[in-house]
Structure 1
Amino acid sequence: MLNSNPLQVNNLTVAYQKKPVLNAVSFVIPSGKLIGILGPNGAGKSTLLKAVLGLIPIVDGEVKIYGGSYREQRKNVGYVPQRESVDWDFPTNALDVVMMGRYGHLGWFRRPGASERKLATECLDKVGMKDYAGRQISQLSGGQQQRVFLARALAQNANLYFMDEPFAGVDATTEKAIIQLLHDLKNQGKTVLVVHHDLSTVREYFDHVILLNGDLVAEGPTEVTFTPENLQKTYGGRLALLQDFVTVPVGTVQ
């Protein structure tokens, strides 16, 4: 039983070549939420995920996942990286990619068996990719590749998921399928953090948001955090280009 908060970040500071990217960021994420991580390009959104997952070094601060380190809680964590960061020419098929999601449970020296293969096939079916199980990943479209990586995350059977721009470069049908899958995960009590760019869909997709621009600008329930004031603080002058996409509910003070 996981009694602690899924994610607690305390004074997290990350720098690239001595240039700060994240500055003393702190927040606590409640369980069972679908969370959007928002901010302009270069705000540190992907850096935040990588730092939490131990993929890049941190300068200062602490990350707790269900009260422990990522290493201790690895089995409870699923990750979908940016599609652009993946070597899609690697010679493997969709089913094998999904079965890789089971290695955290099996250990690296135990090969997946029939039960893992069955689970991987079921996960591909959930994302509409069962018929492509034997297809080389290099032969799939961008949206199909993204679905395969989502299936891999499902196969991990995690409680906390990190997804880095899962909607980037996919068609409307795939985006609809992805958001339905994310809501299904949330309805199962899972917690999902998603790096996201499209402000027009934030209120529809997420019930919790993190607004980031090097510093943490705001964090909390979407209805009280995703406001014009906080967006102005996050995006600054660039918000003028986005105003047409930001819907403000009736009664919101501007």
Structure 2
Amino acid sequence: MNPVDVKNLTVAYQKKAVLKNVTFTVPEGKLIGIIGPNGAGKSTLIKAVLGLIPKASGEVKIYNKKYRAKDRIVGYVPQRGSVDWDFPTSALDVVLMGRYGHVGWFKRPSKQDNQIARECLEKVGMEGYADRQISQLSGGQQQRVFLARALAQDAKVYFMDEPFVGVDAATERAIIDLLNELKSQGKTVLVVHHDLQTVKDYFDDCLLLNVETIASGPTEQVFTMENLHQTYGGKLAFLEQGKMMVEQK
């Protein structure tokens, strides 16, 4: 059983397809990069898989079953910019939200749940900020708190939407170390990612996306100049040093 199977997924806004017949399969225990230009439908893909937006057609299965929002086996880290960081709550309370699938929404978290939440904050280097209001945290600190919430959920499959955007180098390193730790535990992590220079270093597999599936599979096979030209069109610049590839803004 594959953690994620998507077949012919189509999503349309005002009768215009923003995803068209997207098909891919995700192997277990891998870090998968979802790569493509702005407007390619990367965030839409995650939201459609999670049922946060309706799909026009297609099929999504998580471990060979239709996904339901209450399923505890899936964790989600949204884009930081989509969150209301002025909401009056502490870092610890945010992380405890990841435990609600275990304890239920109308029950108080136990001492064990609180301990797990604090351990998750410690794993992301935020144990000293447990009682701090999230509005008082920096962008990188907020992202670490959201990662801790995902850890507290103890899911089997994680979807992360641009977790490296707006964070400093130390936080980016901490995030990739955490993702590798999840992988070592047999977890599967799908990450929307924009920095082409780090794709080969970070991800085992890639999904190249531009409204349609361009290619998917092991990074060393899929992340090629030919596929990248097909994905980005004329928006690529090639640097001689290390043959790095960057998207032009």
Normalising by structure 1, we get a TM-score of: 0.94
CA deviation map 1:173-193 (0-9, x unaligned): 000000000011001110000
Structure 1: runs of 5+ lacking an equivalent: 250-254
CA–CA distance in 1 between the matches of 2:143 and 2:166?
9
Pick from 226, 229, 234: which aligns with 1:229?
A: 226
Structure 2: runs of 5+ lacking an equivalent: 245-249
Pick from 15, 18, 21: which aligns with 1:18?
A: 15
Q: Relative to 1, partners in 2 of residues 1:221 and 1:138: Cα closer, same or farther, differing over 3 Å?
A: same
Pick from 16, 29, 32: which aligns with 1:35?
A: 32
Pick from 40, 43, 48: which aligns with 2:45?
A: 48
CA–CA distance in 1 between the matches of 2:21 and 2:202?
28
Q: Which residue of 2 aligns with 1:116?
A: 113
CA deviation map 1:65-117 (0-9, x unaligned): 01112117721001000000000000000000000001112221211111100
CA–CA distance in 1 between the matches of 2:111 and 2:241?
48
Identity of aligned residues (%): 69
Q: Relative to 1, partners in 2 of residues 1:58 and 1:93: Cα closer, same or farther, differing over 3 Å?
A: same
Normalising by structure 2, we get a TM-score of: 0.95
Match status 1:165 vs 2:162: yes
CA deviation map 1:1-29 (0-9, x unaligned): xxx21000010000111111000011111
Match status 1:189 vs 2:175: no
Q: Which residue of 1 aligns with 2:247?
A: none
Shift of 1:245: 8.5
CA–CA distance in 2 between the matches of 1:73 and 1:33?
23
Pick from 30, 41, 62: which aligns with 1:65?
A: 62
Q: Relative to 1, partners in 2 of residues 1:245 and 1:68: Cα closer, same or farther, differing over 3 Å?
A: farther
Secondary structure of the residue aligned to 2:191 is strand
Secondary structure of the residue aligned to 2:68 is helix
Number of equivalenced pairs: 244
CA–CA distance in 2 between the matches of 1:235 and 1:245?
19
